[in-house]
Amino acid sequence: MRRIRIGVLASGGGTNLQAIIDACDRGEIDGDVVVVISNVPEAYALERARAHGIPAFAFPHKGLTREEHEKDIIACLVQHQVDLVALAGYLRMMTPLFIDKYAGRIMNTHPALLPSFGGKDCHGLKVHKAVIDYGCKVSGCTIHFVTLEVDGGQIILQKAVPVLEDDTPEMLQDRILKEEHKLFPRAIQLFAQGKLKIEGRRVRILET
């Protein structure tokens, strides 16, 4: 079976990127991260990539339209023959240009159980604070395909995580992040194995 070529987009520290790289190295993903791209030149995710010998590129978005910015990223992904795009803490909304190019081949991770606590501006600690303030007893993480609707793509995998009485947003974030680091590589492996089939709003996980 051919190993898939994964391109990762990240805007920050890249802990989910690291989890994906490590899973590839352990043989848990039938694929390899072949390029890492950030819109933030100082993002630590780029350093993580370089430490593993993975080509890493920064494409700052200031002064560009979204489409102009995405054309540069698409050109880089095409050059590296990417099969799957993984958004690992990438804080930019995609335009139809990008989504049409990689339809059914873009995954994102969200630190809540979608469709709750998703959408524009729902990212990072804001999500966990909203969950705690609402009084939820359970939160978690969601791996989903990316569509034009922010956080509205078809759900691939979810993992529930309890919200404890004394939780701060930081404590809840740490607990959920540990699960994201396991769930994202698992979803990518299902893609690599050809086991994901999109049917309308649903993603069916096919048997071997």
**Residues 121-133 pLDDT 10s:** 778 889 999 999 9
**Residues 9-56 pLDDT 10s:** 999 999 999 999 999 999 999 999 999 999 999 999 999 999 999 999
First to last CA, the chain: 14
State the DSSP string of 49-107.
HHHTT--EEE---TTS-HHHHHHHHHHHHHHTT-SEEEESS---PPPHHHHHHTTT-EE
**CATH no. for residue 50?**
3.40.50.170
> 61-75 burial by CB neighbour count: b if 16+ within 10 A, else e?
beeeeeeebbbebbe
Residue closest to 24 by CA, chosen among 47, 49, 57, 45: 49
pTM surpassing 0.85? yes
Our count of domains for the chain comes to: 1
**Residues 142-161 pLDDT 10s:** 999 999 999 999 999 999 99
**Mean pLDDT (whole number) for 103-113:** 96
- Please identify which of the residues 52, 61, 69, 110 carries the catalytic annotation: 110
Share of the chain above pLDDT 90, in %: 92
pLDDT given for residue 103 in this prediction:
95
Residues of the domain holding 57: 4-205
The backbone region for 22, taken as left when phi is positive above 0, alpha when psi lies in -120 to 50, beta otherwise, is: alpha
The backbone region for 95, taken as left when phi is positive above 0, alpha when psi lies in -120 to 50, beta otherwise, is: beta
pLDDT given for residue 208 in this prediction:
62
180 has pLDDT over 90 = yes
- Catalytic, 110? Answer yes
